[in-house]
Chains A and B, each alone.
Chain A
């Protein structure tokens, strides 16, 4: 009975439960989608201050910025190729390949130097000499070897050796390696004299049947004298000047471009650079040669004197508008500078000029193009094309860009950008008419500008325009630049505190 009551109640309850479930919304699981209302987000995109200093800082090329104490900017174009030479170029280590025969008790041995060189003084470094003696005598022989040109602390080099008789004939003796490290050689004849005295135990003087001298390697920590004439080439080098790479048309007039050559020299001997070629090639392919009296005569560099051993003497020379035609040819939109220079050691080949080198001696030659940013730019058009990928904007129905721009430079800049399809055909332009004009900052009487005024622009891309933009594959950016007074070629300076402030934000209508 109890069981019946339970099941009766249960079945009664089951019926309304079934009804409840049938009314239940079967799709109560929430998906998320979009409605009819627009979903629009606003985001900042760009906040940049574009200045010459900052561009140079992020540039990956061999470009450096020089800022004068007053803030005026010069751009330095250089390459990593430098000419550097050490003492090994002038006086390379000479290995001892063959022994020197000491024919007599006094033998003069020529130093293995170039005949044009006269070594008057040298200090050995890491050099070891070895002697070999032979005698047919039947008793011990004492040999004293002396080199008068070799001294240390005013003591002449002298060594004593004993040939021991051991019932074998001839007696032979090869000495240990004798270090002459730190010993000083002095001579006026490029020779070393080897004097030996050989005596028996009885005191009788004899001549050895054989005597040789050899050395492992001839190296010096200091060499003084006339060290010869050398010519070291620094040829076939190119410096890329990127200033005009995007130029399309218009004229530049930089006031004072320069080619600089600097040499750091610790050789105590005269060095001169000989200019074989300085060629400037423009973006149009035109090649012009640098002309200057110094191209013909060469440039002499400073060198340290005898009381300035191991000091660095730096010489800085520039080809400028006053001593060359650099201004005229540079403003032909120079793209590259190629040069061929030789560094001449003892250029006059005057044997009376005494010089020196040490084991630390070197010289380094560097070439650069320096462009002070002073001049005028007239109706110059620069252009560049960028690949763009708008796949991330598939859900964007329309967009509105807001730009805030201020310009501290003394130049009008007009910018236009074109969206191109895969055939480089223009689909749409970014700005209306012929582009967005960013006017020059006002120029003060002292040649500097006042900070630019912020100008705001709204660039609207409704759904029709944005659909067109979506098809583009490239963006061609074209800019036209005119410095203040460029029609009269009035030069202006660019200072390091000039910049263009660019802020861009976007409102994007999204399709969810």
Chain B
């Protein structure tokens, strides 16, 4: 009971932290199931290995932070500060978020082979927006009369349940692991084309949209009109489990131990696809749509009010249909090494490249682990293009066969959230005997 209280208290203390987590801390947990999440070849230490309620949440942006594009006015309200935009907003900017819930994972060692099975609910989203959209929103379109402004924004969301079966084999210094995963898609948005060019013409400020926009969705987005779009989003759902939106993926990983202190590892994760066939909606807007003002003769004698925004929205045509489609998963590749200096200190390095909705994201992490008798703690430093230095903290409590862990990266985001460009949190519990 006292151990349980201690674990809960520790988790509570660290629960306020948020940061970006991309798997560097999993190397701290080699030998237990969470380690196999980053590399299925990381051999499990015990005969029976169970992981329960593993949760991983993260966000990152390669664009500006909130403070990078906003300032406070004299009333204390925030506004988009046009003076900051040129230095901080790029032509293309991404905001990515991910949430993985590993409900139950089991590893059973029989001889040289350790069998792996488990379930997870995985979801991720990405918004890609052009910097010109931010400028347009900040200044108004009058500053862009006669110019074509790209405002197309793509939204991608993918959520699915995965059930896997795998195995890992250790032979002398070499180990390899493989997981085959059956996937059941729960919700998806795929933006195949996102070209929207907005122009305010110089004649008398006619508004024109040149669209080549194609968006697909299954189980998530319903389009009724441009100002009426509904999202049926559930953080966790088992809809379509075993029925629709089937897919397949695999993870493979390998390690090689040099001596008894140094281990190098490599893995390829989430190589697969999902076929979306549950109400697979396809929305397309292609063409040139314009609003050139109203004809006053149509309103002669009428006292109705005229809405410019309604007139422009009504001019844009969107076609909808049902069409099955296929998406690839956001695959990841890792290359790492772990050096056990002694029984108390370990040093790890991990290079991770992640293709998320078509955008490649790379990061390099170095980390240091200190082991106490019942408590492990670690410090992680992550280098990424959008966030040069992000420091993370790791903690794990061991109580016999039971352990609980918490990892938070980019702890500085706690102090300055509005300057933060990334954040992540990972928690979970394991049982090994």
Contact = CB atoms under 8 A, between A and B. Distances in A.
A46 B418 contact: no
Interface stretch (A30-38, A287-295, A423-431): A30-38
A504 interface: yes
Contact of B375 (A9, A44, A45, A503): A9
A94 interface: no
Contacts of B294: 45-48
B293 A46 contact: yes
A2 B374 contact: yes
Nearest to B374: A2
Given A14-B13, A42-B141, A47-B293, A33 B205 contact: no
B228 to A, nearest CB: 22
Given A44-B206, A505-B206, A54 B6 contact: no
Interface stretch (A17-25, A109-117, A242-250, A353-361): A17-25
B308 interface: yes
A27 B204 contact: no
B257 interface: no
B415 A20 contact: yes
Given A503-B203, A504-B293, A40 B143 contact: yes
A507 B204 contact: no
Interface residues of A, dominant DSSP: mixed
A139 B279 CA distance: 97
Contacts of B138: 37, 39
Contact of B139 (A17, A36, A37, A45): A37
Given A33-B78, A37-B139, A503-B293, A10 B71 contact: no
A459 interface: no
A3 interface: yes
Contacts of B77: 31-34
Interface residues of A, number: 56
Q: Which residue among B204, B292, B308, B414 has the maximum number of chain A CB atoms within 10 Å of its CB?
A: B204
A37 B85 CA distance: 13
Q: How large is the interface on B (under 10, 10 to 19, 20 to 34, 35 or more residues)?
A: 35 or more
A10 B10 contact: yes
Contact of A58 (B10, B298, B375): B298
A13 interface: yes
A28 B414 CA distance: 11
Interface in A472-512: 502-508, 510, 512
Nearest to B395: A13
A47 B295 contact: yes
A54 B297 contact: yes
A30 B70 contact: yes
Contact of B297 (A2, A40, A58, A402): A58
Interface in B111-156: 138-143, 145
Contacts of B305: 392
A163 to B, nearest CB: 76
Given A9-B375, A27-B76, A39-B139, A44 B297 contact: no
A60 B78 CA distance: 51
Nearest to A45: B293
Nearest to A404: B204
A43 B203 CA distance: 11
Nearest to B291: A44
B301 A60 contact: yes
Interface string B348-387: 0000000000000000000000000011000000000000
Given A31-B78, A34-B77, A510-B140, 10 more contacts: A17-B16, A25-B417, A35-B82, A39-B139, A40-B142, A43-B207, A44-B204, A404-B204, A503-B292, A505-B205
Interface of A: 2-3, 5-7, 9-10, 13-14, 17, 20-21, 23-25, 27-28, 30-50, 54-55, 58-60, 392, 402-404, 502-508, 510, 512
8 closest Cβ pairs, A-B complex: A33-B77, A505-B204, A505-B205, A47-B293, A40-B142, A44-B293, A6-B6, A42-B205
